[in-house]
Amino acid sequence: MRRTILIAAVSGAAVLFWIAAAVTLHASWAMASALARAAPLAEIGPHPQSTIVYDRNNHPAFTFYVEQRIDVPLDRISPHMIDALLSVEDRRFYSHHGLDGARIVQAAWRNWRAGRILEGGSTLTQQLARFEQLTPRRTFTRKLQEAAIAVRLEERYTKAEILAAYLNAVYFGDGYYGVEAASRGYFGKSAAALEPHEAALLAALVRSPSGDSPSVAPDRALARRNLVLRLMRDNARLSEAEYRRAVALPLRAAKAAGEPAGSSSDCGRYYEEEVRRQLVAHFGGRQVLRGGLRVHTGYDPQMQCAAEASIARRIGQIARGHKQARDLEASLVALDPTSGEVRALVGGRDFQATSYNRATQARRQPGSAFKPIIYAAALERGMAPATILHHLDEPIMTEQGPWLPAGEHEQNDYSLRTALKISSNRAAAQLLQQVGISQATYYAQRLGIESRLPDVPSLALGTGGVTLLELTSAYAVFANEGTAVAPHLITGVEDGNGVPVWTDVPSRHQAVTPATAFLMSSMLADVITSGTATAARTAGFKLPAAGKTGTADDYKDAWFIGYTPHLVAGVWFGLDKPAPIMTRGFAAVVAVPAWADFMKTATAGDRPDWFQPPPDVVKVAICRTSGMLATDACRHGWTGIDYAQAGLTEMPGVAVGTTGHTRAAPPSASTVYEDYFPIGSAPTEPCPIHHDAAAADGLSGALGTTDAGGTSVSPTAQPIAYRGSPSIVRRVVGADGRVTWVIRNQ
């Protein structure tokens, strides 16, 4: 019996031995086979990289991606991050060769006791193998492949290369792949700047990035973070004092608005989308989303947030008082006039509601905001701010018949300066006739208006649709000494290695002369100081500035474009389906307050400087009565000629009457005023009226006894009419219709 039992035992042992041997042999063969198949798979390949958009200060502002990932070398990752990761995921990383036997046994024991898989015992190298080549399904075959690839990775790469690849590949939750994207996303800083408590949180997320995310389960995330900190202390990666300081800190610091990518700020969505659209058009969507481009822009985060806040406040104010404005939209563009770089771009009240960009895509009628283009064309053709437009009550003949524009401020005679300041429609219409529609559209194109403009007299009133970006860049020409620079958001693009792949050099040309640019700024400054845009001063904006309001027909659009020497900003308000914004919704009421609100923040700290006249512009003292060079006698306030009858009812800076009403100038009205002229267009003859009057000690003696042809005239004839302009003075006639004297044309 014993012999039988012994034989049976020996036989059973032999069977077990051979079974074990067979299993071992199979496992060895399987491992060898897996290792052979793993060789071509053990490759650390490139991952999709986020395209990073930088602001004007070279700080990351936006990212475009399939996977939000930004690869960085190991020396640009905080040592605290490495300590935290190894403490919780792979303490023996530097001593094993891809597989940690002790950890595998420990994991197997815990899983057997629990009756289910609690942990896999994988090293960082195994996890990297899974990221690179395998699925996350937990099967024996997959674990065998993972182990085999890990061994091959350790043979092919250094520990530093494996660690860097892991940190750039691992998912940290909330859409962040890799430690750099996660660090920027969660903390608004680069991975190199991570502190112990921040690094511990990221390391804690590796096990369950979705379940332990601070945005999903903040309490669980905090507990896991503190566990990692404790492990760092136990592994001598933190001192006791450092540990206590770290666990006492909140989960993550709040970030200020306008911080780089991943911040809590919602500013800049329209700017971001416009950059994305341009990049896709140039490089294609795949390269933008996966290629890791580095895009440099003129974006100013603080200015952008100020722009959005100003627009939102003004829409709210208008909507509260006018129910029909509940769907009111608005846009804003701010740019640097010298570089053409767009600093801020607001395309509407709510990007989430619609990405339609009303600053770059909508073409609306600018109303009187178009008038400066016509005035600039007039100055280019030899006129001056003091040039007087006469007979503005006479209709303009069109193909449809006589046309006389209506307006809030209309008289028969205006100087260019005053007409622009008060926004006379009739003056603009007549000026367009003198300049010519083709010349006006030519200069509009030179100034940056690319939209097609109608060939009609009403173009003077801004009936041609333009975009806000176009019109704002046109005003930038006046702020840039007459040089037009194409507006642009992107200044340059590099690939992931820093090699330039697109340098955006904007087109640049002299659109108008420096003299014209200066004179336009001088006249447009009057609009803010004492014209239709004085609401900017009422709103508290104090810096020297120039600009023009624009109100489209039936109050459907309200514009204001204004500038300092260093910043040009334009705002537009209206409804997407054109309709009146509000009763008497002039731009001065609707748009100017928003512009002023924005500019107060955007120019905070700027010095109060202004443009200097170029060498070919002179400031000349002019006699209001004759339009010629003022003499000492003119300065004595001689007011013998009735200003109203003389057609001088509205000269720069002083209103002295209404056409058709006979009254003398008030005693406080100065007979002499000063204005700028381009050299060659300024009056060159001294005023003969006051000089002669003073010399003869009375008007009758000043009138002389002969006309220009030597004909005798009455010495008592009183002048009642004045013909000409400050540039060309023709004659003064007496009450009897005879010439009193002739002033020679210059």
For residues 712 and 743, is the Cβ–Cβ distance under 8 A?
no
Based on the domain organization, do 563 and 641 belong to the same domain? no
CATH number, domain at 96?
Answer: 1.10.3810.10
Based on the domain organization, do 562 and 649 belong to the same domain? no
The per-residue pLDDT for 5 is: 43
For residues 616 and 589, is the Cβ–Cβ distance under 8 A?
no
- What is the number of domains present in the chain? 3
Q: How many whole angstroms separate alpha carbon 282 and alpha carbon 277?
A: 9
Beta strands in 514-623 (DSSP E): 546-551, 557-563, 568-574, 617-623
Q: What are phi and psi of 51, to 5 degrees?
A: -85, 130
Based on the domain organization, do 200 and 116 belong to the same domain? yes
Identify whether 72 is part of a domain: yes
Checking DSSP bridges between strand 483-485 and strand 396-398, what pairing results, if any?
Answer: unpaired
| Residue among 584, 551, 675 at smallest CA distance from 321 | 584
Q: Which residue among 218, 247, 276 closes a domain?
A: 247
Based on the domain organization, do 355 and 225 belong to the same domain? no
Q: Which residue among 217, 247, 277 closes a domain?
A: 247
Q: What are phi and psi of 556, to 5 degrees?
A: -85, -20
Residue 450 CB partners (closer than 8 Å, separation 6+): 470
Residue 109 CB partners (closer than 8 Å, separation 6+): none
The per-residue pLDDT for 712 is: 34
Identify whether 312 is part of a domain: no
The helix or strand, by DSSP H or E, that contains position 344, with its residue range, turns out to be strand 342-346
| Residue among 87, 83, 123 at smallest CA distance from 103 | 123
Based on the domain organization, do 641 and 530 belong to the same domain? no
SS3 87: helix
Identify whether 464 is part of a domain: yes
Based on the domain organization, do 359 and 500 belong to the same domain? yes
For residues 625 and 692, is the Cβ–Cβ distance under 8 A?
no
For residues 549 and 369, is the Cβ–Cβ distance under 8 A?
yes
The amino acid occupying position 62 is F
Residue 707 CB partners (closer than 8 Å, separation 6+): 713, 738, 739, 740, 741, 742
What is the mean pLDDT for each group of 10 consecutive residues in the chain (746 residues)? 47 44 44 50 76 95 90 94 93 84 63 57 84 56 75 89 92 91 91 96 91 88 95 95 94 48 67 96 92 96 97 94 86 98 97 94 97 97 92 89 84 92 95 96 97 95 96 98 97 93 90 97 96 95 97 95 98 96 94 98 94 92 81 66 35 35 41 86 81 46 36 33 35 41 34
SS3 730: strand
Identify whether 413 is part of a domain: yes
The per-residue pLDDT for 258 is: 34
For residues 203 and 215, is the Cβ–Cβ distance under 8 A?
no
Based on the domain organization, do 624 and 648 belong to the same domain? yes
| Residue among 44, 69, 299, 33 at smallest CA distance from 172 | 69
Beta strands in 258-340 (DSSP E): 294-297, 329-335
Identify whether 541 is part of a domain: yes
Alpha-carbon distances of 447 from 364, 480, 614, rounded to whole Å: 18, 11, 20
Q: How many whole angstroms separate alpha carbon 123 and alpha carbon 105?
A: 13
CATH number, domain at 415?
Answer: 3.40.710.10
Based on the domain organization, do 590 and 726 belong to the same domain? no
Based on the domain organization, do 341 and 241 belong to the same domain? no
Residues in the chain: 746
Count of CB atoms situated within 10 Å of the CB of 622: 24
For residues 432 and 440, is the Cβ–Cβ distance under 8 A?
yes
Q: How many whole angstroms separate alpha carbon 689 and alpha carbon 625?
A: 8
Based on the domain organization, do 368 and 478 belong to the same domain? yes
SS3 29: helix
* Residue whose structure tokens are 């009205």: 669
SS3 623: strand
Q: How many whole angstroms separate alpha carbon 639 and alpha carbon 663?
A: 11
Residue-number span of the structural domain to which 117 is assigned: 67-247
Based on the domain organization, do 728 and 580 belong to the same domain? no
What tokens were used for 673? 């005023």
SS3 387: coil
SS3 249: coil
The per-residue pLDDT for 112 is: 57
Alpha-carbon distances of 620 from 384, 629, 692, rounded to whole Å: 12, 7, 21
Count of CB atoms situated within 10 Å of the CB of 118: 10
Q: Which residue among 247, 265, 297 closes a domain?
A: 247
Identify whether 252 is part of a domain: no
Identify whether 554 is part of a domain: yes
Identify whether 450 is part of a domain: yes
Q: How many whole angstroms separate alpha carbon 77 and alpha carbon 182?
A: 12
SS3 723: strand
Based on the domain organization, do 337 and 468 belong to the same domain? yes
